Structure 1
Amino acid sequence: MISQQAYSQGIIISAGGPVHRSMGGASTAAPTSAIGALYWNPATISGMEKGELEVGLDLLSTDHQVQSTFGPFEGSTDADPGVLPVPNFGWVHPILGSRWTLGLGVNSVAGFKTSLSADPTNPVLAPQPTGLGGVNSEATFLQITPVLSYAATDRLSFAAGPLITTGQLGIDPFVFDGVNADSTYSSGRAAKYHWGGGFQAGAFYTGQNGVNLGASIKSPTWMEQFEFQGKDENGLPRTLTADFDLPLIVSVGAALTSYQDWLFAVDARFIDYANTDGLGDSATFQADGSLKGLDWSSIFALSMGAQRRINERIQLRCGYTFNQNPIRNSESFYNVASPLIYQHLLSVGASYNLCRDVSINTAYSHYFENTREGPIVSPASGPVAGTSVTNRLSADVFSFGVTMRH
Structure 2
Amino acid sequence: MKKYLLKLSFLMLSALVYGQAGHVMQGVGAVNMSMGGAATAQPLDISGALQWNPASISTFNDKIIKLDVGLFFSSPKLYSTVPEFDNLGQPTGNFFSGSTEDDRGVSPMPAIAMVWGKEDSKHTFGVSAFGISGFGVTFPESTTNPINMPQSMGGFGRIESDYMLMQVGLTWAYELTDKLSLGVQTNFNYAALELMPNPTANPTAAGYPSTDKASATGFGAQLGAFYDSQKGLKLGVSYKTTQSFSDFDFDNTYLDATTGTNSFNMDYPAILSLGLGYSKNDFDFALDYRNVNYENTDGFSETGWTNTASVAGFGWKNISIISAGLQFKGIDKLPLRLGYTFSKNPIENEVAFYNIPATAIIKNAYQLGFSYLISDKFTLDGVYHYGTSNGKTTGQLLNPMFASPTNMYGAIPGSEVSYEMNTSMLMFGFSYNFSK
Q: TM-score range by the shorter chain?
A: over 0.9
SS of match in other structure, 1:332 = helix
Structure 2: runs of 5 or more not aligned: 1-15, 84-94, 403-409
Q: CA deviation at 1:96?
A: 5.8
Q: CA deviation at 1:228?
A: 1.2
Q: Match for 2:379 among 337, 342, 359?
A: 359
Q: Match for 2:204 among 154, 177, 180?
A: 180
Counterpart position of 1:33: 45
SS of match in other structure, 1:292 = strand
Counterpart position of 1:2: 17
| Residues in 2 aligned to 1:199 and 1:46: alpha-carbon distance in whole angstroms | 18
| Residues in 1 aligned to 2:361 and 2:413: alpha-carbon distance in whole angstroms | 24
The residue type equivalent to 2:282 in the other structure is D
Counterpart position of 2:266: 244
Q: Match for 1:227 among 239, 246, 249?
A: 249
Stretches (4+) displaced over 4 A: none
Counterpart position of 2:55: 43
Q: Deviations over 1:51-84 (max 9, x none)?
A: 3211101211111101111121111100111101
SS of match in other structure, 1:74 = strand
Give the length in aligned residue pairs. 399
Counterpart position of 2:100: 77
Q: CA deviation at 1:237?
A: 3.1
Preserved CA contact (<8 Å) 1:84 1:113: no
Counterpart position of 1:337: 357
| Residues in 1 aligned to 2:371 and 2:230: alpha-carbon distance in whole angstroms | 28
Q: Sequence identity, in percent? A: 31
The residue type equivalent to 1:12 in the other structure is V
Structure 1: runs of 5 or more not aligned: none
Q: Deviations over 1:77-103 (max 9, x none)?
A: 001111010101111111464210001
Q: CA deviation at 1:49?
A: 4.8
Q: CA deviation at 1:114?
A: 1.2
Q: CA deviation at 1:341?
A: 1.7
Given the alignment of the two structures, is residue 389 of structure 1 paired with residue 417 of structure 2, yes or no?
Answer: yes
| Residues in 2 aligned to 1:113 and 1:166: alpha-carbon distance in whole angstroms | 17
Coordinate RMSD, CA, aligned: 1.4
Preserved CA contact (<8 Å) 2:389 2:422: yes
SS of match in other structure, 2:421 = strand
Preserved CA contact (<8 Å) 2:54 2:223: yes
Q: CA deviation at 1:157?
A: 0.4
Counterpart position of 1:156: 180
Preserved CA contact (<8 Å) 1:5 1:64: no
Q: Match for 2:168 among 144, 155, 167?
A: 144
- Scaled by the length of structure 1, the TM-score of the pair is 0.95
- Scaled by the length of structure 2, the TM-score of the pair is 0.89
The 5-angstrom pairing of residues 310-321 of structure 1 reads 310-321=330-341
Counterpart position of 1:57: 69
Given the alignment of the two structures, is residue 117 of structure 1 paired with residue 129 of structure 2, yes or no?
Answer: no
Given the alignment of the two structures, is residue 103 of structure 1 paired with residue 126 of structure 2, yes or no?
Answer: yes
Preserved CA contact (<8 Å) 2:249 2:264: yes
Q: Match for 2:326 among 285, 296, 306?
A: 306
| Residues in 1 aligned to 2:70 and 2:329: alpha-carbon distance in whole angstroms | 23
Preserved CA contact (<8 Å) 2:378 2:430: yes
| Residues in 2 aligned to 1:372 and 1:240: alpha-carbon distance in whole angstroms | 29
| Residues in 2 aligned to 1:366 and 1:198: alpha-carbon distance in whole angstroms | 31
Deviates more, 1:297-306 or 1:110-119: 110-119
Counterpart position of 1:189: 212
Counterpart position of 1:279: 300
